[in-house]
Amino acid sequence: ADLYTSVGSHKSALDLFEKLEMWEDQVLALIGIGRYEAAEKLTRDLIAKEATPKWYCILGDTTQDITHYETAWELSEFTSARAMKSLGYHYFNTKNYTKALECMQKSLECNHLQGGLWFTTGCTAMAIPDYATGAKCFTTSVNIDDENGQSWSNLGACHERLGNLERAHNCYKEATRHSFDNWRIWENYICSAVRIQHFTSVIVSYKQILNLGHKYADPKILNCLVSAVVNNTPSIDGKPGISFFDRVLELFKFASSKVTTSDHLWKCYATLYLEVPGRENLSLGIDYLIKGYHACSLTIEKSVENYLQCGQYGEMIFKFVSREEKDSATYGRHLQSLSTILQILITKGHKLMEVTDESEQKEAIRECLGECKGFLEKVEELMLYT
């Protein structure tokens, strides 16, 4: 009968429970096949024979009438963990989180070893929000079951809100051990690593998120890594930021092979070659800026903001092409690419001017157009000598 129940065959299970006179399981099987009236009638018949807290709780499950849980609580002389647990779940489902927390805590006082309820109580506390209580609940939850990755992750979230950033990071790390294939938990881990400047963890977790098939390109994370290297910001363990250059470069190479349409990723990748003292590679940096522009231009006509963002790429590319050695093997190609980009920006800008009504946006477009035309004149002049 239990096997039938486990595979959802409640009708077959019901027949066996009837023969075995396993009344509670019989009621649950009736509920499972949607025979609520029959389940209620059987439960009331059993209560008529013996009124116990358990049967009143089951009657509450059958009728969805919470007064039966309250009756069970009183009948048990305030010791029925089941009654308060069910009442707590009811209030949780109706989003009365304060009342739900009160009921769940009473249930846990009656029976401390309810791992699942400790987790739900913690979630309820977070919804209020009461992060101190949430942290206590999830701490107990992981003490009962230390392989519950979600409990570790939620415990980390509570500590984070309480300002315990290193403790939160350690909790998230533990969560990734038990939920290795959950990219959202890895995302929590990477965000906590950024907050405490644990750059090794940022790199490791970023790569794992990509390995899990998620096309991840969070600007804040990318900026953190690039800023650490460019500004030589020390990691939490004291390592200078520049020491992470090769690992960050390797990560960006891997990330750009997985996520090709993130302009911010390409811009950050370019920055590593353009702005890290002693590690400059102007040619590669410009190549990646051009790829950044092409990724950004996919939405160039979506809004004025998107157009202006593409305009910024045109300005950056012009800035660095102007610095490139004239005898460089890529100089002529970069000039040609830049010329094409500027012509497109000018054409798109004029079209936007015709359909834009706001004066501020028109002025921004007009300013961008003026810069692009000025850049194009200089580029065409340079192209005469290449």
Measured CA to CA, the distance from residue 339 to residue 303 in angstroms comes to: 23
Identify the pLDDT of residue 23: 81
Dump pLDDT digits (tens) for 350-359: 999 888 888 8
Answer yes or no: is pLDDT of 166 > 90: yes
| Contact call for residues 72 and 53 (beta carbons, < 8 A) | yes
Model confidence, pTM: 0.84
| Contact call for residues 141 and 118 (beta carbons, < 8 A) | yes
61 versus 204: the higher-pLDDT residue is: 204
Identify the pLDDT of residue 383: 87
Q: What is the mean pLDDT of residues 303-332?
A: 94
Kindly state the DSSP code that residue 241 receives in the 8-state scheme: G
Confidence of residue 182 (pLDDT cuts 50, 70, 90): very high
Identify the pLDDT of residue 112: 94
State both tokens at 10: 């409640």
Measured CA to CA, the distance from residue 260 to residue 280 in angstroms comes to: 23
Closest C-alpha among 264, 256, 268 to residue 298: 264
Sign, CA dihedral 91-92-94-100, equals positive
Answer yes or no: is pLDDT of 79 > 80: yes
| Contact call for residues 122 and 151 (beta carbons, < 8 A) | yes
Answer yes or no: is pLDDT of 28 > 90: no
Dump pLDDT digits (tens) for 127-149: 999 999 999 999 999 999 999 99
Confidence of residue 100 (pLDDT cuts 50, 70, 90): very high
Answer yes or no: is pLDDT of 18 > 90: no
Identify the pLDDT of residue 5: 78
Answer yes or no: is pLDDT of 224 > 90: yes
Confidence of residue 386 (pLDDT cuts 50, 70, 90): low
State both tokens at 355: 């359909």
Answer yes or no: is pLDDT of 64 > 70: yes
Answer yes or no: is pLDDT of 75 > 80: yes
Q: What is the mean pLDDT of residues 164-173?
A: 97
Identify the pLDDT of residue 223: 95
Using a 10 angstrom Cβ sphere, with 0-12 exposed, 13-18 middle and 19 or more buried, the burial of residue 16 is: middle
Average pLDDT, the chain: 93
| Contact call for residues 165 and 157 (beta carbons, < 8 A) | no
Dump pLDDT digits (tens) for 230-245: 999 999 999 999 999 9
Q: What is the mean pLDDT of residues 302-307?
A: 92
Dump pLDDT digits (tens) for 358-379: 889 999 999 999 999 999 999 9
Closest C-alpha among 52, 51, 30 to residue 42: 30
Measured CA to CA, the distance from residue 126 to residue 124 in angstroms comes to: 5
Measured CA to CA, the distance from residue 12 to residue 161 in angstroms comes to: 49
Answer yes or no: is pLDDT of 6 > 90: no
Identify the pLDDT of residue 8: 79
Q: What is the mean pLDDT of residues 248-272?
A: 95
Dump pLDDT digits (tens) for 29-59: 888 778 888 888 988 988 988 889 998 998 9
17 versus 96: the higher-pLDDT residue is: 96
**Could you give the percent of the chain with pLDDT greater than 70?**
100
Answer yes or no: is pLDDT of 81 > 70: yes
